Amino acid sequence: MKEADMNRSGEKEISRRTFVDWVIKGGLLVALAGVLYPALSYLRPVMRRGAISEMEEVGGVNDIPVWGGKKVIIGGSAVLIIRTPDAFKAFSAVCTHLGCLVDWDGQKREIICPCHAGIFDLNGRNISGPPPRPLPVYTVSVINNKIFVKV
């Protein structure tokens, strides 16, 4: 610390030059952050989420035979719809292990993942293989012979 920076009682005092120096440095930093923030947020993906409660029509009842399945994409994510004799079921088709798309095996009545032989039952529960969690379940409604899924 230079002598000029001390006042009479010996305390440190910031000289004008140091002060201006700090103001400039601080200003630069703020400006940098001001530039960086919009740049970074620019990189954030735009996720167009539809209204949450919206039902999506995925086809007529007769598109899927009993014990048949169908995969559709709703709002960017793949959904598996299965028809049992008395109901329709909809699951996220994205395997909870590493994200492969599961298939419906109508004969064995299981949902199987082609990647690492993960198997889920009719309720989406993981029953064998590596998947750690059940498949998310979605609500299905049938109105006027049309299938609607709420994601």
Q: Which residues bind other proteins (CB under 8 A)?
A: 43-45, 47, 71-73, 76-78, 94, 97-103, 113-117, 129-130, 132
| Of 56, 60, 76, residue with least CA distance to 68 | 60
What is the nearest approach in angstroms of other proteins to the Cβ of residue 29? 24
Q: Are 123 and 84 in contact (CB under 8 A)?
A: no
109 interacts with, out of ligand FES, other proteins, none, CB within 5 to 8 A per kind: none
Q: Which two tokens stand for residue 88?
A: 């329709």
Q: Residue 102 or 147: which CB sits closer to ligand FES?
A: 102
Q: Give the DSSP letter of residue 133.
A: S
Q: Which two tokens stand for residue 33?
A: 């952050």
What is the nearest approach in angstroms of ligand FES to the Cβ of residue 130? 5
79 interacts with, out of other proteins, ligand FES, none, CB within 5 to 8 A per kind: none
Given CA atoms 139, 75, 100, 69 in this order, what sign does their dihedral have?
positive
